[in-house]
Amino acid sequence: MTASSVLRGIGVSPGVAYGPAVIVRLDFPEVPDRGVPPEAVEGEVARLHEAVHHVVGSLEALRDRVAQRAGEEESRIFDAQILMVGDMEFLASVELLIRNNFLSAETAYEFKALELRSLWADSGSARLRERMADLTAIQRRVLHRLLGKPDKDENEWSSAELDEQVIIIAHELSPGLTVQLDRERVVGLISEEGTRTAHAAILAHSLGIPAVMGVSGALDRIKGGTVLLLDGQSGTILIEPSRHDLEAAKSHMARRHRLELEMDAAASEPAATPDGRVLTLMSNVDLPEEIEPAVRHGAQGVGLLRTEFLITGRATLPTEDEQTAYFQRVARAFRRHPVVIRSFDLGGDKFPAAFQAPHEANPFLGWRSIRVCLDQPEIFRPQLRAVLRAAVDRDLQLMLPLVTQVEEVTRAREMMLEEAAALARAGIPAADRVPIGAMVETPAAVLMADHLAEVCDFFSVGTNDLTQYTMAVDRGNARLADRFMPHHPAVLRQLRTVLEAGKAAGISVGICGEMASEPITVVLLMGLGFTQLSVSPPALPLVKWVIRSVQAEAADRAALTALGLRTADEVVRLLRETVASHLDIRLLDPHGALPGRGLSASFPSPTITITD
């Protein structure tokens, strides 16, 4: 198997899929350049509005189907599409083109649609580029209606036509196409465009379909009928895997299945090392469907409840009542365990459609996270009220992202107390306060950790951004992927600094970044002295298994040695050697399922039948 047989993208929905490729092309329809006589102009304007009205009705029906199949939260994705299709400014520009140039409705609409798509594509806004799939989907629907084409779901393609399990490949996956796929027939998705926050990615995750996005050149490299082996965690795709590859995957999956049965049986057991050190193992929760697996795997609460899904793709900001209901839902699921709610991490490419964000040359070093919340109290105060209302008789805590100044924490606390007083005056049941902590994810926060600890109730280290800002590496830049080094000694020394500052102030310090979800790295974190980890739900069983297998004394020695090393590679080798002396490291190896191909062993895998 040569290197040319492997493609890599962004893993957006976990799982392993095996099957032949089916190419789906959903291009814009051919629109004739047609003029009309002056007396027909108003009729064309009426046709335009009829088409828009029809598409809005179709999207509302689709939204209702999504609510039944994937959940209420996911169905709100289509609110943004409904808002787009009915945008009055855009439709007014189409009407003007029809009247001034005596054009047919479809000709004028196509001209303005292409103009808007070009504007969005060239925009410096990551949010606009991310929503391109939504824009394309609704414009395609309107044009099909205007051209009198059949109003088939997504107009051109349906998974009901398939008679075997396949992997779909498209240039761009729209939410409308993704949600209508038959899970029994479509076992995997690949697209050339898209990221983890794309609407299609969110829906694929909700529906349990392994998916890889951002696979450059996929349509050129993969022909219809080509057999593929796809890993939706690592973002790796094998083209025409050999029998040896499949046998290796099948063997590895069988071993993993046996291990998973053992780990499931130990879900209620404590996360304690053989020599008696006990850790608190919590879960990160990004989406509502992750609540149940986190509970099932024995998570002792939520160490990071991300709230961005509440605003992703929404036409409007979520109400206070909506947020309260969601926070109560999560708190009920974890009963007496704590739930740490991260305030809106707005910024970068995460702004709601209704929010007018400024263009920034470098949005990840700009107006984002706690800065937006403090500057826009109309966004932050309803969330504070929702947290306080949901915290009645529940252990809820609030975590502030991207803190770099002590004043950010003190101002947030003042605003919380103000909202608590307002709720009390209104007679609305609510807590009088909740613990407030800082998400430590910048070198500034590390260097000021001793002072931050004086105003914080807890720390939680976000290792993803801490690594990014420490190494000056954009973690979303594929060209710099090999320079994104969470195990670099510069990062490890900062972890120790934060932990020492927290201990000195008597506050808890946890880890909620991806390092805590890497079973091998957990040994390092445990050795550094961290006793509270928050990990992704699928990683909970493996992380607990490692903790219960490796002596704390060995972890301490490894961490002490790692702090004195010079490179990330040296640290990784040390950790692998330490873990290998306690358990079968092949079951933790990200290359274990298919040696040398990069497929992950971190998620449940489907049955793979190998025939001659």
Of 155, 159, 157, 158, whose CA–CA distance to 141 is shortest? 155
Token digits of residue 520: 């091998």
Contacts of 604 (CB under 8 A, 6+ apart): 15, 260, 538
Rounded Cα–Cα distance for residues 72 and 183 (Å): 19
Residues contacting residue 47 through CB under 8 Å, at least 6 positions apart: 105, 146
* 199 counts as catalytic: yes
Residues 6 or more apart whose CB falls under 8 angstroms from that of 418 comprise none
Measured at the alpha carbon of residue 420, what is the angle toward residues 388 and 395, in degrees to the nearest 5?
Answer: 30
Q: Which of 49, 252, 512, 582 is catalytic?
A: 512
Cβ(344)–Cβ(375) below 8 Å:
no
DSSP 539: G
Task: List, in sequence order, the alpha helices (H) in 77-174.
Answer: 77-85, 88-101, 105-122, 126-130, 132-147
Q: Is 297 a catalytic residue?
A: no
**516: CB partners within 8 A, 6+ apart:** 463, 522, 525, 533, 534, 535, 543
**By CB neighbour count within 10 A (0-12 exposed, 13-18 middle, 19+ buried), where does 343 fall?**
buried
Buried b (16+ CB within 10 A) or exposed e, 510-539: bbbbbbbbbbbbbbbbbbbbbbbbbbbbbb
Do residues 376 and 367 make contact, with C-beta atoms less than 8 angstroms apart? no
Give the span between the Cα atoms of 265 and 251, in whole angstroms. Answer: 22
Using an 8 Å Cβ cutoff, are 33 and 107 in contact? yes
Look up tokens 């409007």; give the residue. Answer: 316
What region, left, alpha or beta, does residue 217 occupy, with left being phi > 0 and alpha being psi -120 to 50 degrees? Answer: left
Q: Which of 144, 199, 252, 488 is catalytic?
A: 199
**Run of H or E including 302:** strand 302-305
Residues recognised as catalytic: 199, 512
